[in-house]
């Protein structure tokens, strides 16, 4: 899935590559996908998009926005490859959605898992779509005080551990952190020395501070390195952020203490952790 480090990287690259280009056409690729959500019929995308010019690209947590004057394309909760193709480049064999520009360049999106690519009329909202709920790390609003309030407001704090809170989206809770997914959260919890199963009421103030710091520093590092090594950027290049806790490091020594990294199943997904360092 595209998480905040990848969304930030791709939006930055789109901003440098696509601004000023005019969309010539929109269409489906050669593949269909059950979990690809568009908010309008295809005909409306095909009717509205041609002639629109890219004015900027931006991101919010793990969402990517391609701003097209008074319209916007919005990749929300999406996973997959969003790729740029220079004029004359061959398009990938498999993709789900494609946009051609008048200069012959193109953008394709190949969905993995699930995701939405919505076309919005910007006259209906301000800088970000109305449905975007939550606070992204590294934003001025994401202070330690704010983080404390969010933790205190977590409605499921008695039944789900801290991992559930970190990956929750606006569909699940009213006040989520925007941008984290199951991948980067493993490293955040390792850096914070907290088990994914820790119940939020049991997390002491100094641990909250450690967790807040780990969110900020881990996300900043992954953005600095162009996203995670198991995801690609706008040019199909892998990110340089190598995850500490994932399937590849399972069973290898913890970088801190040498204990074998363990895999556990928790909240519908795999977690990788150091049983010695993370409590
Ligand atoms: Zn360890």
Looking only at the bridges linking them, the beta strands covering 71-76 and 115-121 are antiparallel
Per DSSP, what are the bridge partners of residue 116? 37, 76
**Ligand 1 centroid, distance to 188 Cα (angstroms):** 14
In the sheet with 36-37, reading across from the earlier edge strand, the strands are 36-37, 115-121, 71-76, 63-68, 56-60
d(C-alpha 57, C-alpha 143), whole Å: 25
- Here the contacts of 167-171 (C-beta below 8 Å, separation 24 or greater) are 169/77, 169/134, 170/131, 170/132, 170/133, 170/134
**Ligand 1 centroid, distance to 209 Cα (angstroms):** 20
Confidence bin at 157 (pLDDT 50/70/90): low
**Ligand 1 centroid, distance to 271 Cα (angstroms):** 15
Average pLDDT over residues 144-167: 86
**Ligand 1 centroid, distance to 77 Cα (angstroms):** 32
Instruction: List, for residues 167-202, the tens digit of each pLDDT value.
Output: 988 888 888 999 999 999 999 999 999 999 999 888
Confidence bin at 96 (pLDDT 50/70/90): very high
**Ligand 1 centroid, distance to 276 Cα (angstroms):** 5
Instruction: List, for residues 10-44, the tens digit of each pLDDT value.
Output: 999 999 999 999 999 999 998 888 999 999 999 99
**Ligand 1 centroid, distance to 4 Cα (angstroms):** 26
**Ligand 1 centroid, distance to 193 Cα (angstroms):** 9
**Kind and range of the H or E element at 94?**
none
**Ligand 1 centroid, distance to 138 Cα (angstroms):** 27
**Ligand 1 centroid, distance to 272 Cα (angstroms):** 11
Average pLDDT over residues 129-150: 95
Task: To the nearest 10°, report the CA torsion of 40, 46, 51, 53.
Answer: 50
For 87, list phi and psi in degrees, rounded to 5.
-55, 135
Query: Are the CB atoms for 55 and 19 separated by under 8 Å?
Result: yes
Give CA angle at 19 (7, 15), nearest 5°: 25
Instruction: List, for residues 217-267, the tens digit of each pLDDT value.
Output: 999 999 999 999 999 999 999 999 999 999 999 999 999 999 999 999 987
Q: Note the pLDDT of residue 249.
A: 96
Q: Note the pLDDT of residue 73.
A: 97
Average pLDDT over residues 121-134: 89
**Ligand 1 centroid, distance to 278 Cα (angstroms):** 7
From 217, 269, 205, 268, select the one nearest 244 (Cα to Cα). Answer: 217
158 has pLDDT over 70: no
Q: Note the pLDDT of residue 119.
A: 96
Q: Note the pLDDT of residue 156.
A: 62
**Ligand 1 centroid, distance to 277 Cα (angstroms):** 4
140 class by beta-carbon count within 10 Å (0-12 exposed, 13-18 middle, 19+ buried): exposed
**Ligand 1 centroid, distance to 279 Cα (angstroms):** 10
Measured from the Cβ of residue 119, the count of other Cβ atoms closer than 10 Å reads 19
Average pLDDT, the chain: 94
What pTM does this model have?
0.94
Domains of the chain (ranges; CATH) run: 4-124 (3.20.190.10), 144-273 (1.10.8.50)
DSSP-derived secondary structure letter, 122 = G
**Ligand 1 centroid, distance to 155 Cα (angstroms):** 31
**Ligand 1 centroid, distance to 242 Cα (angstroms):** 17
């Amino acid at each position: 899935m595209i998480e905040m480090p990848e969304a930030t990287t791709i939006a930055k690259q789109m901003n440098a590559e696509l601004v000023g280009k005019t969309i010539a056409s929109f269409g489906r690729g050669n593949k269909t996908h059950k979990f690809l959500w568009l908010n309008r019929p295809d005909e409306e995308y095909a009717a509205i998009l041609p002639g629109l010019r890219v004015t900027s690209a931006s991101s919010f947590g793990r969402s990517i926005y391609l701003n097209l004057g008074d319209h916007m394309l919005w990749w929300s909760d999406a996973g997959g490859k969003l790729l740029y193709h220079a004029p004359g480049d061959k398009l990938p064999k498999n993709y789900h959605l494609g946009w051609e520009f008048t200069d012959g360049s193109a953008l394709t999106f190949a969905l993995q898992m699930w995701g939405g690519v919505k076309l919005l009329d910007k006259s209906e909202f301000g800088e970000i779509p109305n449905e975007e709920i939550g606070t992204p790390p590294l934003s001025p609003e994401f202070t330690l005080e704010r983080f404390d309030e969010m933790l205190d407001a977590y409605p499921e704090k008695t039944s789900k551990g801290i991992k559930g809170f970190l990956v929750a989206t606006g569909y699940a809770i009213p006040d989520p952190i925007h941008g984290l997914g199951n991948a980067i959260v493993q490293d955040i919890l390792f850096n914070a020395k907290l088990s994914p199963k820790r119940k939020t009421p049991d997390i002491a103030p100094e641990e909250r501070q450690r967790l807040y710091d780990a969110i900020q520093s881990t996300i900043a590092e992954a953005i600095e390195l162009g996203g995670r090594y198991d995801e690609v950027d706008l040019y199909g290049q892998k990110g340089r952020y190598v995850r500490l806790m994932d399937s590849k490091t399972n069973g290898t020594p913890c970088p801190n203490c040498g204990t074998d990294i363990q895999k556990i199943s928790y909240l519908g997904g795999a977690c990788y952790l150091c049983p010695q360092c993370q409590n």
